[in-house]
Amino acid sequence: MLEYILRRCGLALSVGFTISLVAFLLLNFATDPAVTMAGEEATTEEIERLRALYGFDRPLYLQYYNWLVSFFRGDFGESVHWRLPVAELVARHFPVTLLLAGMSLTVTILVAIPLGVLAAMNPNTLIDRIALSIAVAAQAIPNFWLGMMAILLLAVTWPIFPVSGNNTIWHFILPAFVLGLSSVPAIMRLTRTGLLEVMGTDYIRAARAKGYRGGALLFRHAMRNALLPVVSVLAVQFGEKLGGAIVTETVFAINGIGRLAVQSVLIGDVPVVQSLLFLFAMFFVFANLLADLLNAWLDPRIRLA
């Protein structure tokens, strides 16, 4: 197991390293960071001052090396716009995104797993078709549209929830619903497939022979094995939500790191964009790593393979 963990960690690190390089090069080749940071009305002198101040006049490999070393020391640089350390900005915004990601994952679980179970228990029936249709619709509807519709119906027409902001837990319910719904299809299908497969196995037939039926059979015997792959996919979905709530946070004016990323792109705050790009990628990499390790822990066949 230890060897497996080390192997996966090494792989995650190399992916992280590659992403950091790509993020760095993209920002440097797509735009002149000094011009972007200086803003619309900057003079040539101001641009050159920023170029020298932030070291953009040094060779690229040196800039990358310095950035990477600083990053792993916890120094993400300083925001040009906010005049604050990027690490402090991330620390201020991250708890909001973490809460949103956690709540949206809860929505995903509460919607997708019951739907998957219903579909699996009634394969190829109307219930199965309805469950699948809901999943397809959830996948097809863009977040910004669903978000606006949710606001119009549940905050404007029937003012049950607040429209936007992140002051109280109630402000998170609509965005969590919107963000969570986008992950429903994957989890629902996985639950359905897993459960259908498990229900056809020998040990379930044995359990039936012993007289287990209904909820007892489903929850005590079938679900435990059927949900093994679901758990690892949920870990990946959580990583996605940490870095992928940009649209939802913008529509609902939630002051998380997704919105920080959008603001930073719009105002050309290169140090923040660079760090967030890398952080988002690393969330995903570590969520994948966690999923791999969970799978290996739950299913010994994987680590032996």
Partner 1 sequence: MNLKPFLLCIAATLIAVPPAVADRQDDTLVAAFPREISTTDGLYNTRRENDILGLLIDDALYYVDPETQEPVALSALSHEFVNDTTLVVTLRDDVTFHDGSLMTSADVVYSFNHILDETTETRFHARIDRWLDSVEALDERRVQFNMKYPYAMVLYDFAYYTKIRQEGSYEVDGVTVPDAQRELALGSGPYRVIEYIPGQQVTLELYEGYREDSPKAVASIRNITIRIIGDYATQAAEVMAGGVHWAFNVPTDIAENVGNTGRARFVAGPSMRVGYVALDAAGRSDPDGPMTDIRVRRALNHAIDRQAIVDNIVRGSSGPLSTPCQPIQFGCDESAAVVYAYDPDLARSLLAEAGYADGFELVLTASRDRDVMEALVGYWTAIGLDARLDYLRNVATPRNAGELMAFYGSSGSFSIPDAGAIMPDRFITDQQRVYTGDEALSELVASTNSTYDQDLRKERFREAITRITDQAYWVPVHRYSQNFLLSNEIEYVQPEDGMPRLFMVRWQNAD
What is the total count of residues that contact partner 1 (CB under 8 A)? 43
Q: What span, in angstroms and rounded, lies between the C-alpha atoms of 269 and 78?
A: 9
Shortest Å distance, C-beta 303 to partner 1? 38
Is residue 163 part of the contact set for partner 1 (CB under 8 A)? yes
Binding span for partner 1 by CB under 8 A among 53-61, 123-131, 186-194, 258-266: 258-266
Q: Which of 84, 91, 110, 231 binds partner 1 (CB under 8 A)?
A: 84
Is residue 35 part of the contact set for partner 1 (CB under 8 A)? yes
Are the beta carbons of 227 and 290 closer than 8 angstroms?
no
Are the beta carbons of 71 and 278 closer than 8 angstroms?
yes
Among 182, 152, 170, which Cα is nearest to 245's?
A: 182
Is residue 243 part of the contact set for partner 1 (CB under 8 A)? no
Q: What span, in angstroms and rounded, lies between the C-alpha atoms of 290 and 278?
A: 18
Is residue 39 part of the contact set for partner 1 (CB under 8 A)? yes
For residue 103, what are the contacts with CB-CB under 8 A and spacing of at least 6? 172, 173, 176, 180
Judged by CB under 8 A, the chain residues 143 through 162 that form the site for partner 1 are: 148, 151-152, 155-156, 159-162
x-or-dash string of contact with partner 1, 260-299, rule CB under 8 A: x-xx----x-------------------------------
Nearer to partner 1, 135 or 181 (CB): 181
Nearer to partner 1, 78 or 299 (CB): 78
Q: What angle do CA 269, 248, 260 make, to 5 degrees?
A: 20
Is residue 166 part of the contact set for partner 1 (CB under 8 A)? yes
Q: Which of 165, 216, 219, 231 binds partner 1 (CB under 8 A)?
A: 165
Query: DSSP readout, 97-166?
Result: HHHHHHHHHHHHHHHHHHHHHHHHHSTTSHHHHHHHHHHHHHHHS-HHHHHHHHHIIIIIIS--S-SS--
Q: Which of 3, 41, 74, 304 binds partner 1 (CB under 8 A)?
A: 41
Shortest Å distance, C-beta 87 to partner 1? 14
Q: What span, in angstroms and rounded, lies between the C-alpha atoms of 19 and 15?
A: 6
Shortest Å distance, C-beta 164 to partner 1? 5
x-or-dash string of contact with partner 1, 43-62, rule CB under 8 A: xx--x---------------
For residue 111, what are the contacts with CB-CB under 8 A and spacing of at least 6? 180, 181, 184, 188
Q: What span, in angstroms and rounded, lies between the C-alpha atoms of 172 and 104?
A: 9
Tell me which residues touch partner 1 (CB under 8 A).
31, 35-36, 38-44, 47, 81-84, 89, 92-93, 148, 151-152, 155-156, 159-166, 170-171, 250-253, 255, 259-260, 262-263, 268
